[in-house]
């Protein structure tokens, strides 16, 4: 980890933080659960089937920046 941080500072590249990689299994699990919700649950959340389909089909690493610790 230190090598990566040091290398990125020297090369001008942003540092790669591996901490957020541990959230990927949670993202996968949450998207699977979202896909399995029924119409009533989706209405309660204010979501449409199209919005759910869009979220479920996103790449596993496509998460909000705030999740990337």
pLDDT tens-digit series, residues 45-64:
999 999 999 999 998 878 77
Contacts of 31 (CB under 8 A, 6+ apart): 55, 56, 58
pLDDT (tens, 9 = 90+) of the chain, 69 residues, equals 444 545 445 555 555 667 767 788 888 999 999 999 999 999 999 999 999 999 999 988 787 777 665
| Structure-block tokens of residue 48 | 């449409």
pLDDT score, position 1: 47
Q: Delimit the domains of the chain by residue range.
A: 19-67
pLDDT for res 10:
55
What pLDDT was estimated at residue 61? 79
- Calculate the dihedral angle through the C-alpha atoms of 35, 59, 67, 9, rounding to the nearest 10 degrees: 170
């Amino acid at each position: 980890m230190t090598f990566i941080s040091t290398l990125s500072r020297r090369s001008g590249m942003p540092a790669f933080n591996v901490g957020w990689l541990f959230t990927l299994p949670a993202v996968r699990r949450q998207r699977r659960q979202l896909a399995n919700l029924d119409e009533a649950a989706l209405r309660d959340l204010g979501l449409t089937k199209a919005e759910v389909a869009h979220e479920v089909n996103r790449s596993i690493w496509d998460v909000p920046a705030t999740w990337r610790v």
